[in-house]
Structure 1
């Protein structure tokens, strides 16, 4: 019979055995032996060999001192069923741990032949990975408010809905919170023994809700390491390795990083198959360049020109505490290797304050990436950027969660920000947007990048539906420019012209959110609001918008409104995006989507969709549209609607009050009159009836235009002609800005059910015509003329004519 020491080393170094599946029974002078995972046992340490009483593998005793059992060679227990990916001598085998309500945290390596079935053919699965340096308080602990930040971090991690989470700078206090978190206990496996020293020594922790086949670590130096796991996906095993390299705070930091990268390259070269390496590389430059075959996921998704920082001392006070250079940098990365891996979406988390007082979650931002594993997913064009502007983290946790079944979900699925709902943007059976819309998405990204390059001192924010990721085909690109000091709009216009020489129709506008520019680049309309930040740094203007006055704060709240919505829907962001697109497409088809024409603005539809998703709880995604129509068809519109329930009472007496999600909180539906409210309720009921009639699994015909000829016995035809050398766009803009005043005048004249259709039914040759339905009891031509004459003052080239109900040309919109 061999000694326990001989058996230990046989298991540890013989490639036929999987050390992670062995447990040592150790005499601790108690009523029962302690069970120690073999990888956690330290030869020559505090426990002498003679106190090892037995050795188990897969629940079977293969060596027992007192019974004289030595069956290590004859038993199949503990044998490698599939070659290890994390092989010695580089990786030291570890034991993953999982929570059991009866026994607590216990060793739980999943066998290589996992219950997760492998897919066949061209199927692929999507794997979401997240890396975050969470800022331990070993330095400057009195300046970084760790006690307040940690609960915010746990909430953000939960809502991120990542399959694998890689954390850096984890210390005992944070580890204890994670170990007690119900969502961690319910679904995640840790890469190391939570009662051991590995996590506290290196600050590295991996959490996976996919089955973990093996775990391993390699020490790169004092407190620096790489922690790795092999997870089983439905498309096969994938190795994920988390690391944290030496920073410039250390002596000879750059040289030490080069050495660490060289060791990583050597170790990963011995790993077979797909690899994802993620963590804090602390390089501050263009990225690790000595890791052969690994591709930067952010660049793969966002393009080589996108240098969005993950550490920004200009904006984040926590980063300002520890910075040496004061420069923003992209320190945190996700790198992928393997022909079967493709990054399809990427964003940052925590790039906005998560608590009052401007408190961020960490000095670093998190990076979250969706990677497809296996064959290329149908309907996903990797050459098309997912979003023209990386969305903000939405406060602490503004990353979409697709509510997919564990452990992995098939592809295609609704992609991340900037993804598409095929039935709204493409032809039947097509899994991606039409070519024209793909071109507009790429074009929007190009426009944004060029403006940022032309105005480096400004902060250029994408807002509206493109920031949220729920833009429909043909949507404008809405931008807010925060410009230091007072605004010289003419100077801004000159630089915009220089950056976008192909732009046409560039013209200044004076909107409710302040001065701006309107232009067109190819087939993309661009609306640009310019906000002076006076003495506030442009990068901090959104956070400190209250200091800039009401007009500037309102303009900048377009950024914070979108982020607040995404933070609120949190874990159900993907469901929200799908519902928002459906609702907006329906509202467009029914002519309810234009604020200048008395409808709801895009922000209002966003709030309604977000409230629906939050109120629906765990309602299946397929039932959300029914819930949307039911909720708002029966809403008491004397009550305001806010992103969060029970908003404070307001003194406003508007027929519809939908409040903006962030400060300055205000109604965004003041343009909706009593007749507009009644029309909305009627349309909500109609949509509800269609969804109910369609039944489960069917597609209701929600995108048909309303029967306007049945609703309106007469029309007011609004004709707009450009005059005096003025461009037609300028004339149209001035007229559209006064449509709501005309509807108000009609209401006062006894026409409560007037409905202005928001898109022209005739356009060309310098003439544009809109139709305004005058309801079932329309005014006669004389009464309409009386109302219109007063309204037309100051609008040369514009006329309003009475037309009988059947007098409009037959169009798809009005039939």
Structure 2
């Protein structure tokens, strides 16, 4: 493959190594035995949190996705017949399910839902998906809790298929047929598409590009599992609350992997905290140099769009049209995350010096640890006992706690 930057000159006349990302690596050091040992300990520390699925659960997901894929092909063939396509065309019309998000990245946890995309040829309309395909799903005895959200920013059909929750998007491409080996990464497939199809394709295109831009997928996956678990345990995993969502965490980990291409997960977790505790925001995190495209879609570019200059923590998706995935971040949430990066660095320093166990990294923050005296603690309690009828979040104490953090 071609990578978005030049070469790293290796000592001793070795072959130059291609490098990943927009700068050369910080270190090409290979892992030592001790790094492998720390990585094994990291895996062991994550197991009690249900982050790894067993073989049986993984196979169940594969079987369900296989059934759904066949179901889509069957439906597209039926629609093609109704629209009077010739039999020769119907036999090769295709159709395909793509996955994206945590499942596609290979970092989903036990019981997590699957983000999927149904890709159809040009004669299949969006209305067909929300009408005839929805009806076809309704007839299937293994499908439960079926609901369509057709007017969402990214329209979706949600359902449970044999116990697995699936969010299914739809994209109609300007192609006569959808082959099994279709690659969504090229920008030309976006030409002449409806904006809802472009948005629906974005998740797959971003996920595929992230995987393409990391030097070692297995090291990336294990590191991302650790960082996601850490962020959830520390209460900073939420796009809605102004922190970071799954895609943003994935891009930060991917950038760390680019900077330390030969490191294993234990080292990468430590380097993640090192890099982002020192990052000079609002400098953007980029996995590749944004490429120009003549499709004229709006992209993140502070030189062109004045509103983009106010983004506090830009993390830019690597697929066209490039977007900032962290537009909800505020000065307060950024400050909280910066403190957490520094705390993560100090804990991983201790772990890699043999002074602490990995379990320390996954300890949740004490509710009162940020407050220095009893008066402040009393104020927190008073604030959280207030009438919560005006709170819009599902957990009023959380809303009040965040409010207190933001004003303190």
Shift of 1:495: 2.3
Partner deviation per Cα, 1:626-648 (whole Å, 9 max, x = no partner): 11012112212211212137998
Shift of 1:612: 0.5
Taking the aligned partners of 2:347 and 2:274, their CA distance within structure 1 comes to: 11
Taking the aligned partners of 1:522 and 1:709, their CA distance within structure 2 comes to: 43
Shift of 1:586: 0.7
Partner deviation per Cα, 1:363-403 (whole Å, 9 max, x = no partner): xxxxxxxxxxxxxxxxxxxxxxxxxxxxxxxxxxxxxxxx8
Aligned to 1:472: 109
**Residue 147 of structure 2 corresponds to residue 507 of structure 1:** yes
The equivalent position to 1:496 in structure 2, one of 133, 137, 149, is 137
Larger RCO (CA under 8 A, 6+ residues apart): 2
Shift of 1:610: 0.5
Taking the aligned partners of 1:510 and 1:565, their CA distance within structure 2 comes to: 28
The equivalent position to 1:581 in structure 2, one of 216, 225, 228, is 225
The equivalent position to 1:699 in structure 2, one of 357, 361, 366, is 357
1:618–1:404 Cα change, 3 Å: closer
Aligned to 2:205: 560
Aligned to 2:158: 518
1:695–1:529 Cα change, 3 Å: same
SS at match of 1:520: strand
Taking the aligned partners of 2:47 and 2:237, their CA distance within structure 1 comes to: 17
Contact 1:513 1:529 in 2 (8 A): no
SS at match of 2:60: helix
Taking the aligned partners of 2:267 and 2:174, their CA distance within structure 1 comes to: 48
Shift of 1:424: 2.5
Taking the aligned partners of 1:778 and 1:673, their CA distance within structure 2 comes to: 9
1:621–1:535 Cα change, 3 Å: closer
Taking the aligned partners of 2:247 and 2:104, their CA distance within structure 1 comes to: 12
Taking the aligned partners of 1:776 and 1:573, their CA distance within structure 2 comes to: 40
Partner deviation per Cα, 1:585-619 (whole Å, 9 max, x = no partner): 11111222222232212111110000011112444
State the structure with more CA Rg.
1
Shift of 1:717: 7.9
Aligned to 1:681: 338
Question: What's the TM-score once normalised by structure 1's chain length?
Answer: 0.36
Contact 2:52 2:109 in 1 (8 A): no
Partner deviation per Cα, 1:307-326 (whole Å, 9 max, x = no partner): xxxxxxxxxxxxxxxxxxxx
1:567–1:693 Cα change, 3 Å: same
Aligned to 1:528: 168
Partner deviation per Cα, 1:26-59 (whole Å, 9 max, x = no partner): xxxxxxxxxxxxxxxxxxxxxxxxxxxxxxxxxx
SS at match of 1:614: helix
Contact 1:719 1:770 in 2 (8 A): no
Q: How does 1:18-29 map to 2 (within 5 A)?
A: none
1:583–1:705 Cα change, 3 Å: same
1:610–1:717 Cα change, 3 Å: farther
Partner deviation per Cα, 1:738-767 (whole Å, 9 max, x = no partner): x9xx6xxxxxxxxxxxxx7xxx66xxxxxx
1:649–1:778 Cα change, 3 Å: closer
1:596–1:573 Cα change, 3 Å: same
Contact 1:554 1:664 in 2 (8 A): no
Aligned to 2:245: 601
The equivalent position to 1:483 in structure 2, one of 94, 108, 120, is 120
1:532–1:618 Cα change, 3 Å: closer
1:718–1:775 Cα change, 3 Å: closer
Partner deviation per Cα, 1:320-346 (whole Å, 9 max, x = no partner): xxxxxxxxxxxxxxxxxxxxxxxxxxx
Aligned to 1:442: 59
SS at match of 1:636: coil
SS at match of 2:218: helix
Taking the aligned partners of 2:266 and 2:98, their CA distance within structure 1 comes to: 33
Contact 2:64 2:162 in 1 (8 A): no
Taking the aligned partners of 1:770 and 1:529, their CA distance within structure 2 comes to: 34
**Residue 338 of structure 2 corresponds to residue 658 of structure 1:** no
SS at match of 1:527: strand
Aligned to 1:545: 190
Shift of 1:709: 4.2
SS at match of 2:315: coil
Q: How does 1:285-434 map to 2 (within 5 A)?
A: 421-426=43-48, 433=52
- Please state which structure has a larger fraction of its residues in helix: 2
Taking the aligned partners of 2:402 and 2:218, their CA distance within structure 1 comes to: 40
Partner deviation per Cα, 1:174-197 (whole Å, 9 max, x = no partner): xxxxxx99389xxxxxxxxxxxxx
1:702–1:447 Cα change, 3 Å: same
Aligned to 1:237: none
SS at match of 1:504: strand
Partner deviation per Cα, 1:115-136 (whole Å, 9 max, x = no partner): xxxxxxxxxxxxxxxxxxxxxx
Contact 2:243 2:334 in 1 (8 A): no
Contact 1:440 1:523 in 2 (8 A): no
Contact 1:533 1:541 in 2 (8 A): no
Partner deviation per Cα, 1:724-746 (whole Å, 9 max, x = no partner): xxxxxxxxxxxxxxx9xx6xxxx
Taking the aligned partners of 1:510 and 1:525, their CA distance within structure 2 comes to: 18
The equivalent position to 1:459 in structure 2, one of 96, 110, 135, is 96
SS at match of 2:345: helix
Taking the aligned partners of 1:669 and 1:439, their CA distance within structure 2 comes to: 36
Give the RMSD, CA atoms, in angstroms. 3.8
Shift of 1:462: 1.0
SS at match of 2:240: helix
Aligned residues: 326
Contact 1:687 1:702 in 2 (8 A): yes
1:613–1:627 Cα change, 3 Å: same
Gaps of 5+ in 1: 1-151, 156-179, 185-402, 415-419, 721-738, 743-755, 762-768, 780-815
- Please state which structure has a larger fraction of its residues in strand: 1
Question: What's the TM-score once normalised by structure 2's chain length?
Answer: 0.68
Gaps of 5+ in 2: 4-12, 18-29, 77-94, 292-299, 371-378
Contact 1:718 1:771 in 2 (8 A): no
Taking the aligned partners of 2:405 and 2:257, their CA distance within structure 1 comes to: 39
Taking the aligned partners of 2:332 and 2:151, their CA distance within structure 1 comes to: 25
